Amino acid sequence: MDLELLKTTLDELGEPSYRFDQVWGWTAKGVAGYAEMGNVPLRVREELEAKVPFSSLELVHQQESQIDGTIKALFHTKDGRPVEAVLMRFLDGRRSLCLSSQSGCPLTCTFCATGSMKFGRNLTTSEILDQALHFRRMSEVDHVVFMGMGEPTMNIDNVLASIHRLPDVGVTHRRTAISTVGWLPGILRMIEEPLPIRLALSLHAPEDELRSQIMPVNERYPMEDVLDACRTYADKWNRDVFIEYVMLGGVNDQVWHAHQLGRLLDPKRFKVNLIPYNPTGSIYDASERSTIQAFRETVESYGLRTTVRVNRGRDIDGACGQLAAKALSDAA
Ligand code: SF4
């Protein structure tokens, strides 16, 4: 729902200011449409039906993983830009959303499907919230990570504005995470913001030369400057920053890379999440399981806590780094 349009429309109708909160409150709770907003007068509901589309996104396609129940949705914005979002359902009851912040991405990380598609534009606050609301209409949700299409810190104003409203949808700030490839101005902005959001940094290499090959953004914002900003963020909230590290076979997954990584990171501030690589048709192969295990043990020998991500939704191209493959073919 375009919240700016909602506000303007209610103002034009001469409605009291609490009407906006009523309509938003119902929407955030996952009602299917204006008809279900019991305390909003029928006359107002009819006007909104005619003037304010219930969602700023149109659902184009939806797929459910036969392996783990992950659901991936492809939307189009009003101007026809593809946007993908994913709902992950865990056995312990958690419902976690992976949201997009941009249609496409201007950065060109070489392992990422989104990076190979044409950049469209930043998504508006409402387009970000409407991804979450789509899934909220299916079930309650409790976690959000900005790890879908796009680099969220390049669209930080709209991302933060959407995060301000996520508690109404059921997701607290502490259960919201922004994953960045190291767009320094965005991280610095996050440091200023009084929101205890989880920060994750996609590092993917333990030194600048290799990192620049995998992620060209490193040439603009070198690793040490980005890690400095992450340390500041960790200290501000007394909360670990997650280091995301995608395991690319024969590229960044050797034991000596793990030693470099171990020496680089302070265990009091960082936690490492190793990500088995998902095939996206790029130049890379996945690491062997035994290679990942050896890498993990070496990193842990430096006192760093590590996890190995269980990829979800692989059969529907909904796993990390895979978003855009479907959007590309559908939008072509
Ligand atoms: S990894 Fe993130 S920043 Fe890099 S190209 Fe993909 S979407 Fe963009």
Q: Which atom of ligand 1 is nearest to the CA of 105?
A: 8
pLDDT in tens, 65-108: 998 889 999 999 999 999 999 999 998 989 999 999 999 999 98
Active site residue 4: no
Give the strand pairing for 57-64 and 71-77: antiparallel
Give the per-residue pLDDT at 327: 43
- The minimum-distance atom of ligand 1 relative to the CA of 115 is 5
Counting ligand 1 atoms within 8 A of each CB, the residue from 86, 99, 105 with the most, and so the one to mutate, is 105
Tens digits of residue pLDDT in 269-318: 999 999 999 877 778 999 999 999 999 999 999 999 999 988 777 676 66
How large a percentage of the chain has pLDDT more than 70? Answer: 93
* CA distances (Å), origin 66, targets 95, 233, 323: 17, 39, 18
**Is-catalytic flag, 84?**
yes
Q: How many CA atoms are closer than 13 Å to the CA of 262, on its beta-carbon side?
A: 19
Confidence (pLDDT) at 258: 98
Q: Is the shortest distance between the CB of 109 and ligand 1 below 6 Å?
A: yes
pLDDT digits (tens, 9 = 90+) for 104-124: 999 989 988 887 788 999 999
Catalytic-labelled residue, pool 98, 109, 112, 320: 320
State the Cα–Cα distance between residues 256 and 244, nearest whole angstrom. Answer: 18
- Rounded to two decimals, what is the model's pTM? 0.92
> Annotated catalytic residue: which of 84, 127, 151, 244?
84
Domains and their CATH numbers in the chain: 1-54 (1.10.150), 55-331 (3.20.20.70)
**198-252 pLDDT, tens digit each:** 999 999 999 999 999 999 999 999 999 999 999 999 999 999 999 999 999 999 9
Residue 239 CA neighbour count, 13 Å, CB half: 14
- pLDDT for res 148: 92
Calculate how far, in angstroms, residue 114's C-alpha sits from the geometric centre of ligand 1: 6
